Structure 1
Amino acid sequence: MLLTVHVWRQADASTPGGFETVHPVEAREDMSVLELLDAVNETLERQGDEPVSFDDGCREGICGKCGVTVDGVPHGPDRNRASCMQSLNAYRDGDEVFIEPLRAGALPVTKDLAVDKKSLRRVSKEAKFPVAMKALNTAGCISCGACIAACPNGSGQLFVGTMLKHLPPLAKTPEERDERAAKVLDAADREFGPCSLLGDCTEVCPAGLPLENLTSVARENLHRSFPDRYPAPGDPQD
């Protein structure tokens, strides 16, 4: 099938961007979104134009590098699938596809579809980075940033709540755990917007993380403010 692809082009975060139309782009229903971008770049290169920049890595839905927004939806229309695992089976010959970066203040554009995800790392490092990543890996989070882009407020509460939920077993003492959790909460307040419990984040999360993980942040804040009345969250199954 032949598609018309409107792809976002932007030199950097400080330069205004816009859609560039690429047509025709030869595609198949079994192709992924990233494979479609490969086809877009092949078309551009044949025309003597600069290829589109985008992030990719494993292309197996594991590394979290490849997030883009497809027709207004972070990652794409298939629920709980990373961009590299999104198929084109909903499209037909002659259709139009709009592809742009993940949209959030915490994820500034570096070039075209590529975004800077250092905000996630800055929050993670407050829990001591290797420990934080082990916690996220335990939960299945791939740190892709789609939850932040899906939220109208740019909240990272699903990401942060998931980390906090799995942090207790990885801390050596309760005091160490509380200190790490407090630093994570402070960093999250600096990097991300507030959570309004809309649940859009869970619709796009490739790991299918549950909405219940959002409550970990509220529980941590209660414990931090009233430690005598609200005990620290314990086991991840709590």
Structure 2
Amino acid sequence: MHNTRTLTVEVWRQSSAEDDGRFVAYDVTGVTPATTVLELLDLLNEQLPDGEQPVKFDDGCREGSCGKCGVMVDGVAHGPEFNTTTCQQHVRAFRNGQRVRLEPLRAEAFPVLQDLAVDKKKSLRTVVKAARGPAGMKALTNAGCISCGACVAVCPNGSGQLFVGSLLTELPPLMKDDDERRERTEKVIETAGETFGPCSTLGDCTEVCPAGLPLENLSAVAREYLRNQNKTRHQH
């Protein structure tokens, strides 16, 4: 078929959370400029040698809106196209015969379950639950965050500051009074500190964020923290 190519895909294979993983290289044929990263994995699984288990990866709507998918493409969360989910990333930049490395979203908060599939729900939901569930989810929806976890994976410290800051940017208007705001924001910040690494304000998180969440959202964490501290001092 015209304009098809063959790519050598180095993919992370790990049979379970308890096992050690390693990269395994496969030649994948029939790749076109329109092929997405997830479609590349589909092709790989179709062409696996007899007896090999399909590569496990996180999949969802494939329309860039659910946040379920996500892999590292040559070390970049989601892939080389900024502000784009894995399912919407194309491999058109890779020429015939080139190598592409696919591995799980790398973060301490996202343990690998199998191959490219990771558990990111536990850590993200833990922070949302600290805001008492529905309010936290409403805040994230209002912020436009799809909870894909790319911001955590791309950060050298495994920080969730963009995720947490986006939640805290939209949470206060949902609170009935100042006491409730303080109670919930304190719990979110405390839980986030136990779950994710510290923020160094590098800004890599905003480059990979499919929702295009702004760097300014990072400041919401410090703003709510200082606001709560000031109120505590005034009470004493």
Distance 2:170 2:233 in 1: 22
Write the letter of the residue equivalent to 1:122.
T
Confirm whether residue 124 of structure 1 aligns to residue 131 of structure 2.
Answer: no
Partner of residue 211, structure 1: 215
Partner of residue 73, structure 1: 76
Match of 2:182 among 175, 178, 191: 178
Partner of residue 144, structure 1: 148
Equivalenced residue count is 229
Write the letter of the residue equivalent to 1:29.
P
Partner of residue 236, structure 1: none
Distance 1:228 1:179, change over 3 A: closer
Match of 2:12 among 8, 11, 16: 8
Structure 1's consecutive aligned runs of 4 or more residues displaced over 6 angstroms after TM superposition are none
Q: Which runs of 5+ in 2 are unaligned?
A: none
3-state DSSP of counterpart to 2:67: coil
Partner of residue 199, structure 2: 195
Contact 1:5 1:25 in 2 (8 A): no
Distance 1:15 1:171 in 2: 44
Shift of 1:228: 6.9
3-state DSSP of counterpart to 2:47: helix
Shift of 1:108: 0.5
Shift of 1:229: 8.0
Task: Tell which deviates more after alignment, 144-153 or 124-133.
Answer: 124-133
Distance 1:215 1:15 in 2: 39
What is the aligned-residue identity percentage? 60
Partner of residue 108, structure 1: 111
Contact 1:223 1:229 in 2 (8 A): no
Write the letter of the residue equivalent to 2:128.
S
Confirm whether residue 161 of structure 1 aligns to residue 174 of structure 2.
Answer: no
Distance 1:7 1:80 in 2: 23
3-state DSSP of counterpart to 2:28: strand
TM-score, length-scaled by structure 2: 0.94
Write the letter of the residue equivalent to 1:107.
F
Partner of residue 31, structure 2: 27
3-state DSSP of counterpart to 1:3: strand
3-state DSSP of counterpart to 1:153: coil
3-state DSSP of counterpart to 2:23: strand
Distance 1:106 1:47 in 2: 34
Match of 1:54 among 52, 57, 60: 57
Q: What is the Cα-based RMSD across aligned positions, in Å?
A: 1.4
Contact 1:8 1:17 in 2 (8 A): yes
3-state DSSP of counterpart to 2:11: strand
Shift of 1:13: 2.9
Contact 2:162 2:215 in 1 (8 A): yes
Distance 2:30 2:52 in 1: 17
Contact 1:136 1:162 in 2 (8 A): yes
Q: Which runs of 5+ in 1 are unaligned?
A: 231-238
Confirm whether residue 135 of structure 1 aligns to residue 139 of structure 2.
Answer: yes
